[in-house]
Structure 1
Amino acid sequence: MSLQPDSTPDTDTGTFNNQEHPKTNNLFKESFLRILKSKTSVIGLCIIIILLLTALLAPLIATHSPTDQSIVNRYQPPSVDHWLGTDELGRDIFSRIVFGTRISIQIGVIAVGISMIVGVTLGSIAGYFGRWIDMIIMRVIDIMLAFPSVLLAIALVTILGPSLRNAMIAVGIVGVPQFARLVRSSVLSVKETEYIEASKAIGARNLRTLFGHILPNCLAPIIVQMTLGIGTAILDAAGLSFLGLGAQPPTPEWGAMLSDGRAALQNAPWVVAFPGVAIFLFVLGFNLFGDGLRDALDPKLKD
């Protein structure tokens, strides 16, 4: 996708007077219509909307408190009183899944936010300035990529200490290389265009050229990576919680619920099945929407 405006240099201010092409005004409208034409992206968007509404209306949707215990009702199968059954402490699984939606969205947004901020900064600096700066940054990125993401996240959480906050930080750091490499390649491509050369020729500062002209034209792949990265972040955080390194009891986090219920997998499979389905739907929704968004923002796929 190109957001390049028909620009003329302003020699007094060292900036561009943007004269947008008519197609630029309809860019986001066209992308939105392309998303609506894709059945998979619409399904993903519907799942995301349902998840967001569930998180927003959790106190109204939940039938019980997510932390109230009732030992006499432990391992109750799905029923009218407990729609998805109860766990080993008699807590209502449906209510815990509903409130767990808030935590999962929080994990996805914060973890991907960390990955994006750090990754975009490193990738843009490496791609724009090049030479020894590029070499140092990309060698660090290569070292991070040499470790399996799960093992690197486990190592970071072990150093920081097991908690939901530290798990989000670890997952965010693990996702930095994907953003850094993506942005670097985009910056390398955009900075060779004529309007960037013109910006440099009239004396525009490096930071203004980079953040004012180059990065805005790299937004499409960044947005797509953010969408797809949320699903990956949820899986990584759930894995850490499953190992006891993420959310701590009694936090209703889906990965922790899987870990708590694995001992009763044969006798009470619903304790594990429903949190697993919740994780599956969450990741599926963001992946489907991310795929549709990628297709909509890719100019090569336009009809």
Structure 2
Amino acid sequence: MSLQPNPIPDPNTVNVDQSEQTKSRRLWIDSAMRIVKSKTSFIGLCIILILILTAIFAPLIATHSPTAQDIINRYQPPSSEHFLGTDELGRDIFSRIVHGSRISIQIGVIAVGIAMIIGVLLGGVAGYFGRWIDQIIMRIIDIMMAFPSILLAIALVAVLGPGLTNAMIAVGIVGIPQFARIVRSAVLSIKETEYIEAAKSIGAKHGRVLMQHVLPNCVAPIIVQTTLSIGTAILDAAGLSFLGLGAQPPTPEWGAMLSDGQAAIQNAPWVVAFPGLAIFFVVLGFNLLGDGLRDALDPRLKQ
């Protein structure tokens, strides 16, 4: 039995791999520093961190049960007992908004997760293979984009039935075209690069090339679109709940709170003002952070 010496790694190859890893690490560190230095993106990041912390510690922050009713104290203005007042059933608005932050995060994660997974796969396949596959997928995407997003979401919820889960599925489906088009555009440019041609020349299968070489290089636009889509998903889900197609009573969802309080907007404006402000600031936070990420991850804006 003959012993064969282990192959000695080429030092040039090792140096190239280490150089690429170092360059990638520096890119993300530099992007993080650009986000922190940007005032608008930093404000958006702070708003999102406050939302996440509020959702995590909701039982500790809330002063009352979000579903406890006190008809005697209905429509009470903001006070030391009820920081943001009470609604038509005497429920504490502050506690309902705090617990509603959990639902907003759930909507953002699930709805955008559905849109991202399906949209990235469709856009990647369409851009990589092209020809008739690209034509079929993109024509379906064009048809979906021909409908206003809220109308398409209403139609889907009408088919699936009202409820928070179905609303998240509908909002996720509505968000698929944005991810598909962005990923397709990125794949069309990436698949023509030299390292993709090298992977094909050594016999790598299409699925491996797409999943291990092409899509990982589309991470930057996917991250930006995901951040921007979360705010849109929260806003769309709130709109569905406002119409009675999303979260059902007594779920403390911000859009449903707006719907419940619209009848008393003149006599008790705090019932709709504070849930509306919560939606406004959360959507604003994700939009500001998304714009900051887009600037930070754009190599054309680097000195």
Fold match, TM over 0.5? Answer: yes
Q: CA deviation at 1:25?
A: 2.8
Q: CA deviation at 1:37?
A: 1.1
Aligned match of 2:197: 197
Q: Distance in 1 between matches of 2:293 and 2:92?
A: 36
Root-mean-square deviation (CA), in Å?
1.2
Aligned match of 1:51: 51
Q: CA deviation at 1:18?
A: 4.2
Q: Distance in 2 between matches of 1:170 and 1:24?
A: 36
Q: CA deviation at 1:296?
A: 0.5
Q: Distance in 2 between matches of 1:229 and 1:286?
A: 8
Aligned match of 2:131: 131
Q: Which has the larger radius of gyration?
A: 2
The reply to whether residue 170 of structure 1 matches residue 194 of structure 2 is no
Q: Distance in 2 between matches of 1:20 and 1:65?
A: 55
CA deviation digits over 1:178-236, x for unaligned, max 9?
00000000000100001101111111110111010111111000000000000000000
Q: CA deviation at 1:19?
A: 4.9
The reply to whether residue 105 of structure 1 matches residue 100 of structure 2 is no
Aligned match of 1:42: 42
Question: 1:135-284 to 2 correspondence within 5 Å?
Answer: 135-284=135-284
Q: Distance in 2 between matches of 1:228 and 1:25?
A: 24
Aligned match of 1:14: none
Say which SS state the counterpart of residue 25 (structure 1) adopts.
Answer: helix
Aligned length: 289
Q: Distance in 2 between matches of 1:52 and 1:286?
A: 12
TM-score, normalised relative to structure 2:
0.94
Q: Distance in 2 between matches of 1:175 and 1:120?
A: 11
Q: Distance in 2 between matches of 1:89 and 1:254?
A: 16
CA deviation digits over 1:157-195, x for unaligned, max 9?
000000000000000000000000000000001000011
CA deviation digits over 1:78-137, x for unaligned, max 9?
001000000000000000000000000100110000000000010000000111111000
Q: CA deviation at 1:20?
A: 3.7
Instruction: State the one-letter code of the partner of 2:289.
Output: F
Aligned match of 1:64: 64
What 5-or-longer segments of structure 1 have no aligned partner?
A: 1-7, 10-16
